[in-house]
Amino acid sequence: MTELLAALGSLFTTPIVPAAFGGVTWGILGGALPGISPSITMALLLPFTYGMAPTTAVVLLASTYVGAEYGGSIPAILIGTPGTNAAAATVVDGYMMKQQGKGGEALGISLYSGFVGGLFGMLVLVGLTERLSSVALAFTPSSYFALGVLGLSVIATLSGESLVTGFIAGVLGLMISTIGTDPVTGLNRFTFGSPDLLSGIPPLLVMVGVYAMSELFMKTGEPDWEKATLEDARIKFPSPAIWRRIALPQAIGSVVGAFEGMMPGAGGAVSSFLAYNEARRWSRHKEEFGHGSPEGIAAPEAANNTVACTALVPMLSLGIPSSNSSAVLLGGFLMHGLIPGPLLFVNHPDVVHGLYTGLFVANVAMLIIGYLIMSPCMWLVGRPKPYLMAFIYALVVSGVYAIQTSLFHVGLAIAFGVLGSAMKYFRLPVLPMVLGVVLGFVVESNYRRALVLSDGDYRTFIQDPIAAGLLITAFLFIIGSVVRHLREA
Amino acid sequence: MKPAAVTKDKAQRELALGSATLAIAAVYYLLAIRIPQSDIADVIGAQGLPKTYASLLAGLSIILIVRAAMARRRAAAPDATPAIPKPRLQRGVAWRVFGMLMNGVIYILVVPWLGYILSIAALIAATVYYQGGELNRRAAGVAIGGAVVLWLLFVRLLHIAHPAGIWPSLL
């Protein structure tokens, strides 16, 4: 109750409402562009949040995530091309409904199911996050080191088809995190005499480079996407009969999304397909799935919007991002000097409560903006791809420069764009590298501090019960992934 | 593509990746051991974790190389599958990707003296071209319009001082 009152209070003290509406608008527009994922949409916005108050910035980014998850379903339904990976499951029945002349109804089902899923995700987020982080005050440098290792162990799950390439990407990220001033001795490492590198490489630049810039490079040469007409894009309220029919798939999608959102590496795409499958299994109209079933839209859309909230549970409470989008949000926190994890709730409760409120407003805003934005959204999707890509490139370059008015940073973002493109070519997963960059400093500084405090005694990591528990969990996590990969091989 | 050809293609890719990361590990290690030692250093020291990371990367790279070499041998051994053309990046597309990269590099080089508006307009126009669009009046309009919108957003609204260059003298 106290949290709810505090969250309500923040509604009137910070510009949360405009931030939530702005973020949702940007998110829907970005998500609606095929190939521009929620994480890229958020990464494009990151530089603009630099001068904002921390609460406003994190609300803007989190609302973008919420909006992008819905935005991805618009082209999925109207042109059969998912705007985001998570909307891929929506294509199956959404596009079929559009071909049957029920595109408006499909968009309405998507919007309302996203709203229902988002609200459920919010409840899970508020209910679980603070409890998970309540052990905050007992954390020592050993525990923080172990927490960082647990975060890095997520790499094992995020590695996709090859565990080795996932770990390689993770180690590359850790290497990047060592550039700059040494956290204990203050010595310069890998700076090559450049003052621009003394403070290290900001995770923000890595994210903008490997997500947004590399996507611009890799999209070069791809054909333009199909265009839809405005007549297709009038949202219709689902009828009471449809409402009754989609209630169960929405509940299934919400529950699946809640669990999958908190699982490292699962994300919106996995949860959408799982929810689709489960909704089909429990449906009385199984035969309609794949032929324009409203349930086939409701379940995945409820799931991916639930994920947009529940993916923040491990990120906020433990500082461990479980998806690309929550990694970008983590970058936004770090940029404002906020360290997600146990102490966030002690040191910055205002930001956390503001974020809760912002997410609630964002879900309501999604309903309103979802209706209003359809025409501009379709206009934007209808623009030729070369013009859109050119404007996005200019926006990224200008935004990165704006952070510290540094052309060196623009160069770094481009360099990371090249690295991201090379990683995609070699099928090296990007998220493990981002995790390495983000968690590298936490791991190294706390590892060494813990050893300084214990006079170099390594037993400190076993004697501290929290550290020992977290390290054992990380170890089991890695072993589990290795066994799974060996079985699949 | 037949499974053997897929395996061979993947193996070649992994071999190239493993060799590249092994080289990165070697260079990084050499740079790590050149980090000076401090009198106030802890037991690990400034070199400690970088050296560990380099060793880890080298170990993982070797595993990847060995695995790729074994997979390549397995793919080549049992049957003489006729060579299937690999889906390569088309030369035209590769040039366009390179052009996209150079757009950014040239922007960094020219913006200090050309100024933000002119440079960003040129960046937009060049990107339209490399993304497969035509350089016509419409593209010029988009470039100029886009530059003005971004200038209004960053310089006028957000008060971020982008390089002015020769632009003010042209007005």
- Are B93 and A389 inside 8 Å of each other by CB? no
Nearest to B108 among A51, A405, A411 (CB): A411
CB contact A194 to B (< 8 Å): no
User: Of B44, B55, B56, B29, nearest to A187 (Cα)?
Assistant: B44
Nearest to B17 among A393, A428, A444 (CB): A428
User: Of A61, A103, A106, A113, nearest to A331 (Cα)?
Assistant: A61
Q: Which of B6, B7, B9, B17 to mutate to test the interface with A (most CBs of A within 10 A)?
A: B17
CB contact A456 to B (< 8 Å): yes
Nearest to A171 among B57, B120, B131 (CB): B57
Nearest to B60 among A168, A185, A452 (CB): A168
User: Of A165, A240, A487, A401, nearest to B63 (Cα)?
Assistant: A165
Distance CA A354, CA A102 (A): 39
Distance CA A258, CA A456 (A): 42
Q: Which residue of A lies nearest to B163 if distances are taken between CA atoms?
A: A405
Contacts of residue A460, Cβ cutoff 8 Å, sequence gap at least 6 = A142, A450, A451, A453, A454, A467
- Are A390 and B131 inside 8 Å of each other by CB? yes
The confidence score (pLDDT) of residue A2 equals: 62
Q: Which residue of B lies nearest to A185 if distances are taken between CA atoms?
A: B41
- Are A386 and B131 inside 8 Å of each other by CB? yes
Residues of chain B where predicted confidence (pLDDT) is lower than 50: 1, 80
The confidence score (pLDDT) of residue A50 equals: 78
Chain A, window 249-308: residues with a beta carbon less than 8 angstroms from a chain B beta carbon: none
Nearest chain A Cα distance for residue B77, angstroms: 20
Q: Which residue of B lies nearest to A407 if distances are taken between CA atoms?
A: B108
- Complex ipTM, two decimals? 0.88
Distance CA A210, CA A436 (A): 13
Q: Which residue of B lies nearest to A449 if distances are taken between CA atoms?
A: B42
Residues of A in contact with B128 (CB under 8 A): 386-387, 390
Q: Which amino acid, A197?
A: L
Nearest to A397 among B60, B123, B142 (CB): B123
Residues of A in contact with B27 (CB under 8 A): none
Nearest chain B Cα distance for residue A238, angstroms: 39
User: Of A237, A270, A262, A242, nearest to A84 (Cα)?
Assistant: A270
Distance CA B75, CA B64 (A): 16
Q: How many CB pairs under 8 A join A and B?
A: 175
- Are A51 and B46 inside 8 Å of each other by CB? no
User: What single-letter DSSP state applies at residue A225?
Assistant: P
- Are B50 and A168 inside 8 Å of each other by CB? no
Contacts of residue A239, Cβ cutoff 8 Å, sequence gap at least 6 = none
Residues of B in contact with A184 (CB under 8 A): 41-42, 44, 46
- Both tokens assigned to B122: 């040129």
CB contact A401 to B (< 8 Å): yes
The confidence score (pLDDT) of residue B103 equals: 93
- pTM: predicted TM-score of the whole model, two decimal places: 0.78
Q: Which residue of B lies nearest to A456 if distances are taken between CA atoms?
A: B43
- Are A178 and B50 inside 8 Å of each other by CB? yes
Residues of B in contact with A182 (CB under 8 A): 35, 46
Q: Which amino acid, A314?
A: P
Residues of B in contact with A411 (CB under 8 A): 105, 108
Nearest chain B Cα distance for residue A217, angstroms: 6
Q: Which residue of B lies nearest to A213 if distances are taken between CA atoms?
A: B101
CB contact A387 to B (< 8 Å): yes
- Are A394 and B154 inside 8 Å of each other by CB? no
- Both tokens assigned to A235: 């949202």
| In the block, residue with structure tokens 């990380």 | A474
User: Per-residue pLDDT tens for A138-175?
Assistant: 778 888 888 888 878 877 766 667 888 989 999 999 99
The confidence score (pLDDT) of residue A189 equals: 92
Distance CA B164, CA B171 (A): 12
- Are B53 and A174 inside 8 Å of each other by CB? yes
- Are B43 and A456 inside 8 Å of each other by CB? yes
Residues of chain A where predicted confidence (pLDDT) is lower than 50: none
Q: Which residue of B lies nearest to A436 if distances are taken between CA atoms?
A: B53
- Are B131 and A385 inside 8 Å of each other by CB? yes
DSSP string for residues in A28-65: HHHHHSTT--HHHHHHHHGGGGTTS-HHHHHHHHHHHH
Residues of B in contact with A386 (CB under 8 A): 127-129, 131-133
CB contact A486 to B (< 8 Å): no
- Are A221 and B132 inside 8 Å of each other by CB? yes
CB contact A57 to B (< 8 Å): no
- Both tokens assigned to A403: 């952070």
Q: Which residue of B lies nearest to A217 if distances are taken between CA atoms?
A: B97
